Structures are given as structure tokens and as C-alpha cells.
Amino acid sequence: SVRADEDLLDGLNPQQREAVVYRGPALLIVAGAGSGKTSVLTRRVASLLRTKDAWPSQILAITFTNKAAGEMRERVGQLIGDRAQGMWISTFHSACVRILRREAQQFGFTKSFTIYDSGDSRALLKRLVKEHEADAYGITPAGAQSRISKLKNELADAESYARSANMNDPAERVFVDVFSDYQRELQRANAFDFDDLIGQVVYLFRAFPHVADTYRRRFRHILVDEYQDTNHAQYALIHELTQPVSGGGAAPFESGGMMIFEPEPATDAEGPASLTVVGDSDQSIYAFRGADIRNITEFERDYPGAKVVLLEQNYRSTQNILSAANAVIGNNFDRKDKKLWTDVGEGEKIIGFTGYSQHDEAQFVADEIEKLHREGVDYSQVAVFYRTNSQSRALEEIFIRAALPYKIMGGTKFYERAEIKDALAYLIAVSNPADEMALRRIINRPRRGIGDVTIEAISRYAANEQITFRDALANSSALGVGPKIQAAIAHLDAVLAEATEIMLPATGELPPPTAVADGLQLLLGKSGYTDALRASKDAQDEARVENLDELVAVAREFARNNPEGTVVDFLAEVQLVSDADDLEDASGSVSLMTMHTAKGLEYDAVFVTGVEEDLIPHRISAGEPGGPQEERRLFYVGITRARKRLHLSLAMTRAQFGEISVAMPSRFLQEIPAELIQWRQSPGDVNSRGGMQSRALNARRPGGPSAAKRYGDDLVPKSTSIERFANRIPAKVRDNGDMQLASGDRIRHDDFGEGRVDAVTGEGAKRVAHVRFDSAGPKKLLIKIAPIEKL
């Protein structure tokens, strides 16, 4: 007889088929990049539904980004039709937010809790580190943040940590105090930080077995993509969900430590859910965030009897690209060798390019992209990767001037911009009045003359009266502040109250769909926030107004998609936008991103830039145990994103603020067999490249050095077309190739001010000025590109 899911198996190889049709308690799919892991997971979901082994509501599929979740949902929908509705396909974080919204009241939170992102956590820790004078013990807000995050990923809390720490050490005691106050403040503000989202669900499941049982009964099939990058908390969450239904009596688990899965026969609906995980230990790149590769390598121990499927055929890349990837990753000694193969043929050679500077490298990238575009490659099929966010600057500068449409994924994330965070803080002040941090953020934005003294007065009043900070604002006349400040507070209070009435009417009626957007506009308008930006002469503030307009547009869009969505839902959605999610509207533009963000994605043409020692492998990895190995995996992730064309580029010198450092080719380049790479440009003949100079000169725009200085990452709002900005953004990249400098000349530098040239060395494009700046001291500048003027 024909299987009900037969058509879903079309075109799959035997191993892939097996992974789709296997039915049993635990399945591990391990395979290299591009071998169809994600595709198989998607088809497996479709197959479970088609064969009626699962109802949509019984499926929980975990992806690495919201973007990937959306794609999987859409693909399942294409395969089996409308029944894809009602399935939980989401990231760990989104799934946990959904669970917490339902269950938060079980343990002292309300369902309108706020999510603190990394910036919010940092701000809170800054305050606590100061209060505890913890810096005297070498504890910085950033340091405390990363320690707390690591501990939470291990499911440790302040108490359990205190038990294992050496509490005779005063620095440890102070850290524990900061940690426990941090947690208390979060609870008081009815807020979770990012790590809590997962850790608190694990805690909830362990402390309240009947709650865990609800989800164990519900999710009969759990599927996890990119399992190699799960941390201990995520592992424990999956473990909790795949326990047999307890019947409500089981004692809570001890937190921390590894847990052993005790198998029970999956005879009835009360047995454990089936678990499918998919991963590639060669692509484990988040150890620095607590990801534990052992979750995959020890899967068979944790889930005895698990079925293991290996996939070896790669469907993504050409043989040349794969050979390079295999050769590179083969240098990691702590791995099981697996060889990927493909039958799509050799394809083009990898193109290598050594630029003279990072601008030269960027120009190469832009030129190549234009060439590909002329050959019919869509911009959206091109991606440019780098190791660190700051490397995007040079690329952006050249792309803007070449009018090449591009998008930055991650890095200068839209939702991390100060003005966007302010606007969201206004919304939070409405949706969760207990969130004091949000109120403190906006209380003097725009400037209302409310300083620390007033904030202290409000805080004291709230404590004395045992009311919230928000309620204290409503009592401005009792605060004992001057009449001007009192009026400012009363005004803010009134604006917040008015917006609350729009978004969360006291009548309890469901607000109209436009309420969030309308409320947001009201808040930004009546608070004076937008006007203050408009009145500013700073060019960046103009861009900020546009960003805010865009946020209002996002809220309107949200209303269209979620007619019953409230401000709480809106905030939950925007607070969870992850790096790769910016991809949503990337059609028709080149994507720029870090190699970390690139995971799971694929493009026809890929440019991996900055293939230099100290960048990839990154300098900070050198001292870390396993650091260089993880960097090699990251590079492997980067090159295996390419379908047809791969470009590897580097610069001989990297200039920051005009100061030069000499770069060395990455060791990973030498690991690629030489015959696979065709070097486009040897470092020696950079100057003979005719097009570049005239092109740069033509593209130069008026604006002068002071205008150029204002050009920062912040200036280009997300998803704004290049054309609109190209006219406004002055060129920062110079071409001073013809500037005649001699010792004794005086110059002015955008960042370093005035100075005197001591000597000029080198020739042509490599001419270096040795300058003694009046206040910044001696610097070496690459004359061609330094932001300097001769006086």
C-alpha cells in the first residue's frame, strides 16, 4: 500500500527518508553543513501530520531564529495545507515566553511581564554594582552580566552559587549580593531577562509538576534544529518536556548538574514525548554563550536506544567549495571525521583577493557584486560576512557610494537603537507600570529638568508610602519638589495615563487594533520626544525621527496581522526580534552579517571578508581553551553558506581612525588546497587597478570633513533605501592619493586634531605620514585614506 506521506519523500535520499519516516522515542540526525538537516526536520513535521501520528497542537518544533521558524511554518503549510495552524514552531525563547505568559501567575509574576534585553540588564547591573561598591573588587557591570548569564545557563541561582563559592573571599560575597539583588529587582519589576526566559520555565516545571504535565501531555513530538548550540538550560528544558507524565506527585529536581534520562516504555499518551534533534558538531559556535557540544555527543547516552541517522550528501555547494570546507575543518583534531560529497560538479574556483586596505577590500567586494548582478545574480542571493560588527563600516561606506542596496543583519540592530529603546520604554511604562527601569529611562527623556535628586525624591516617597514608582509620579504635589519640576512630572503622568486609556482602557474593553500605534504616537508626540529630536541640529537626530516613524509603522503592521493583539503582545514580539530576523525584508538587497548570524542560511554567492589572523581566528580566542577550534568551526560555517560562488578576501593593512595595523593572512587560508583558489589580485599590483581611484573621486560628495565626522553607524536606519541616504551622507572614505606632504607640514585630522608631519615614508598608495599631534601624540597615518587636511 502507498504511504500517506509518500509524496513528502520525493527526491529524498535513503538516509533522509529514514529520518522522515522513523517513529520512536528518540532520533538523532547528525550531518555536515547543507546535507538537508533542516529540510528533513521540516518534512518530518509534515509527515507526522500527514500520517496522523500527530495533531498540529501536539508538535513543538524549535528553530534557531524566528526567521527560520517562519520559513519552516510556511514550508510545512506548502507541503500539507492549512493544518499547519496551531503548531508551535518557534525559537526556545519565543516558546518559553508563551509558556510564561500562561503560567507566570503560578510563581509571583503577572502575564504582562517585561523582557529585559542585554542592555536593560546591563543598566540594572550598573546601578547595583555602584550600590554595592563592587568595582572595588574588580566587578564591572559587563563582567557581572556575563557571569550571571553563564550561571543562569547552567541553571544556577545566587543561592546555589553561594553554596559552591568560597564565601570567605569578599569579592565572591559581593558578587553573590549583586546577583541576588539583581534577581530581586527583576522580580520586583515583574521582569525576566533573556536567560531567565528558559531557566524560569525549567524551574517552573520542576517546582510545579502539574504544570509540567500539562505541556508533557500536550507536546507529543518535540523537534530541535541546531541542537549542537543548545546550552544546559535548553537541554534541561527539553529533558523536562520528554519526561513521562508524572501525575502531579513528583518531587522537584535538584537544580544544576547533568541529569540522566530514565526511559519508560512509550505505551500510551502518558509516556514520554518523542524527541528528534538535528545538529552538526562542526558548526558549534556558541560555546562562549554556554552552548555545550556534549548535548549532541552524549545524546545516545542521555536517550538510550535513540536512533541515529547520518547524512553525508551535500545539496548546497559545489565540490570546490565543499573541498575547501572539508580541508579546513579536517584540521580540528577533536572531531569525528565525516566527509561531505556532492554531485553538482566542481563549479567555479574560489576567488581570493588581497586588498591594500579594508577600503580596497570593500571596493573589491562591491565591484564583484556589481559584476555578479550584471550576470543576473539577484542582490538578495549575495551575502557578505565578517567576524566582528565593526568591520561592516568600511563595507557600508563603499556600498553607499556605489549605490549598492544592502542590509545589515544584527549589529546595529534597529531595536537596540537608543531612540527605539526609549519609545519601547514609554510603551512598557504603560503596559507594566511596575517596571521602574522603564520609567527611570524615560523620566528625563526628553529633558524635563528631572535629575537624580528628583528621582531619589520620587523613590523615597514611593518607599515611604509603600506605593510603586509609577504611582508616586501621580502624586507629584506630595514629592516636595519645585513647582517647575512638579509640573513636568504631572505632565508626564498625564501623558502616560492618556496613553494607558487608549491602549488598555479602564473599561476592560478590548482596545481597537490601532491602539498600539495610536498610543505610541501619542506618547512620542505629547511627551515632546519627537519635537526635541526635530529641534536638534544633529544630523543623526533626523535619522532617529525616521526610525521612530518606522517603529510606528511596525506597530500598524502588527495591528493588521494581530487584530486582537495588545500592547503587551506587541512588546513581546519586538523584544524577541533576533539578529537574523532583520532578514525579513531583505529582498533585493545584499545581506551583510557576522559569521555567527549566518548560521543555517544559504546564498548563491558569499564573500567572507577579513580573512586575517586576529580577526578569524579572532585575537580573543587565542587564550581560550578550544578557542581556535571554535574559530575554525565559525569559518567553516561561513564558507559552507555558499552555493555557487565563494570569495575570500583580506586586507594587508587595517586602518582604524587612520591608524594602521599590518594584517597577516589567516592560518585558515593556508589550510585550503592552493589549487582551489584563484587569486584575483596580488598585493603588489593594487596601484595599477585603474578604476578605483577615479571611481572614488567621482563618487566624492560635498560635505567636508566636519560633516564626514558625523557619519556614524547610527545614521543609516534599517530598511531605508540607499538612494535616500546616499545624498545625505558625506563620503568618509578619502582618497588622498595625490596629497603632497613633507616633513614640517601641519595637518588637521578629524579625530586627532592638529599636528606636525615628522616624516613621510613609503611610496604611492602606501605612503605613510609620521605625525606628532599637538594633543594626541605621535601616530602613523596612511596618507591615502586618513581623514586629514593639509593646513
Report the relative pairing of strands 659-662 and 653-656 from DSSP bridges: antiparallel
Residue 507 bears catalytic tag = no
Residue 740 bears catalytic tag = no
Nearest to ligand ATP of 312, 659 (CB atom): 312
- Which range in 9-17, 50-58, 378-386, 702-710 contacts ligand ATP by CB under 6 A? 9-17
Residue of 24, 93, 65, 786 whose CA lies nearest to 410: 65
Residue of 541, 514, 516, 517 whose CA lies nearest to 529: 541
Active-site choice (15, 283, 454, 629): 283
Strands (E), 77-220: 88-91, 114-116, 191-193
Establish whether the linkage from the previous residue to 446 is cis, with ω within 30° of 0. Answer: yes
35 binds, among ligand ATP, Mg ion, none (CB under 5 to 8 A by kind): ligand ATP
Give the torsion through C-alpha atoms of 525, 526, 532, 535, to 10 deg.
Answer: 70
Interface with ligand ATP (CB under 6 A), residue from 12, 165, 171, 176: 12
Interface with ligand ATP (CB under 6 A), residue from 37, 440, 448, 633: 37
For the beta carbon of residue 330, count every other beta carbon within 10 angstroms: 15
Interface with ligand ATP (CB under 6 A), residue from 19, 21, 30, 33: 33
Minimum CB distance to ligand ATP, residue 15 (Å): 10
User: Was 247 annotated as part of a binding site?
Assistant: no
- Which range in 30-38, 312-320, 522-530, 637-645 contacts Mg ion by CB under 5 A? 30-38
User: Was 35 annotated as part of a binding site?
Assistant: yes
Minimum CB distance to Mg ion, residue 372 (Å): 24
Q: Is 36 in the site for Mg ion (CB under 5 A)?
A: no
N-terminal to C-terminal alpha carbon distance within the chain: 87
Nearest to Mg ion of 38, 243 (CB atom): 38
Backbone angles phi, psi at 641, to 5 degrees: -80, -15
**Cα-Cα-Cα-Cα dihedral sign, residues 143, 149, 155, 160:** positive
Contact between 645 and 604 under an 8 Å Cβ cutoff? The reply is: yes
Residue of 125, 95, 120, 117 whose CA lies nearest to 575: 117
Q: Is 38 in the site for Mg ion (CB under 5 A)?
A: yes
User: Was 112 annotated as part of a binding site?
Assistant: no
User: Was 721 annotated as part of a binding site?
Assistant: no
**All 3 cell numbers of residue 483?**
513647582
Nearest to ligand ATP of 215, 603 (CB atom): 603
Query: Residue-wise over 755-777: b if at least 16 C-beta within 10 A, else e?
Result: bebeebeeeebbbbbebebeeee
Interface with ligand ATP (CB under 6 A), residue from 38, 357, 389, 681: 38
User: Was 34 annotated as part of a binding site?
Assistant: yes
User: Was 86 annotated as part of a binding site?
Assistant: no
Site string for Mg ion, 597-636 (x = CB under 5 A): ---x------------------------------------
Nearest to ligand ATP of 34, 433 (CB atom): 34
340 binds, among Mg ion, ligand ATP, none (CB under 5 to 8 A by kind): none
Under DSSP, the state recorded for 737 is T
12 binds, among Mg ion, ligand ATP, none (CB under 5 to 8 A by kind): ligand ATP
Residue 441 bears catalytic tag = no
Interface with ligand ATP (CB under 6 A), residue from 221, 232, 316, 401: 316
647 binds, among Mg ion, ligand ATP, none (CB under 5 to 8 A by kind): none
- Which range in 27-35, 326-334, 517-525, 701-709 contacts ligand ATP by CB under 6 A? 27-35
Crossing angle, helix 392-401 and helix 358-374, to 10 degrees?
50
Active-site choice (15, 16, 17, 37): 37
Residue 641 bears catalytic tag = yes
Residues 6+ apart with CB under 8 A from 650: 353, 354, 355, 361, 609, 610, 611, 612, 663, 665, 666, 669
Helices (H), 208-341: 209-218, 232-241, 294-297, 299-302, 319-329
Beta-ladder partners of 29: 278, 309
Q: By CB under 6 A, what part of segment 266-295 binds ligand ATP?
A: 280, 283
381 binds, among ligand ATP, Mg ion, none (CB under 5 to 8 A by kind): none
Minimum CB distance to ligand ATP, residue 636 (Å): 10
CA 629 centroid distance within chain: 22
Minimum CB distance to ligand ATP, residue 133 (Å): 47
Q: Is 16 in the site for Mg ion (CB under 5 A)?
A: no
Minimum CB distance to Mg ion, residue 326 (Å): 18
**All 3 cell numbers of residue 675?**
589549487
For the beta carbon of residue 320, count every other beta carbon within 10 angstroms: 25
Residue 283 bears catalytic tag = yes
Active-site choice (120, 196, 225, 229): 225
- Which range in 7-15, 139-147, 197-205, 736-744 contacts ligand ATP by CB under 6 A? 7-15
Q: Is 75 in the site for ligand ATP (CB under 6 A)?
A: no
Q: Is 597 in the site for ligand ATP (CB under 6 A)?
A: no
Active-site choice (5, 117, 226, 735): 226
Residue of 755, 569, 785, 483 whose CA lies nearest to 659: 785
Backbone angles phi, psi at 308, to 5 degrees: -120, 130
Contact between 577 and 415 under an 8 Å Cβ cutoff? The reply is: yes
Interface with ligand ATP (CB under 6 A), residue from 8, 27, 28, 36: 36
Backbone angles phi, psi at 62, to 5 degrees: -110, 125
Give the C-alpha separation, 560 to 575, whole Å.
Answer: 19
- Specify the DSSP element, H or E, that contains 21: helix 14-21
Interface with Mg ion: number of residues (CB under 5 A): 3
Minimum CB distance to ligand ATP, residue 44 (Å): 12
Active-site choice (5, 15, 16, 38): 38
653 binds, among Mg ion, ligand ATP, none (CB under 5 to 8 A by kind): none
Interface with ligand ATP (CB under 6 A), residue from 137, 315, 679, 725: 315
Interface with ligand ATP (CB under 6 A), residue from 16, 276, 432, 500: 16
Q: Is 35 in the site for ligand ATP (CB under 6 A)?
A: yes
DSSP code string of 746-769: EEEETTTEEEEEEEEES-GGG-EE
Backbone angles phi, psi at 620, to 5 degrees: -70, -15
User: Was 454 annotated as part of a binding site?
Assistant: no
Interface with ligand ATP: number of residues (CB under 6 A): 18
- Which range in 36-44, 211-219, 451-459, 674-682 contacts ligand ATP by CB under 6 A? 36-44
Establish whether the linkage from the previous residue to 665 is cis, with ω within 30° of 0. Answer: no
Give the C-alpha separation, 734 to 604, whole Å.
Answer: 32
Binding site for Mg ion (CB under 5 A): 37-38, 600
Binding site for ligand ATP (CB under 6 A): 11-13, 16, 31, 33-39, 280, 283, 315-316, 600, 602
Binding residues for ATP are 31-38
Give the active site residues.
37-38, 225-226, 283, 641
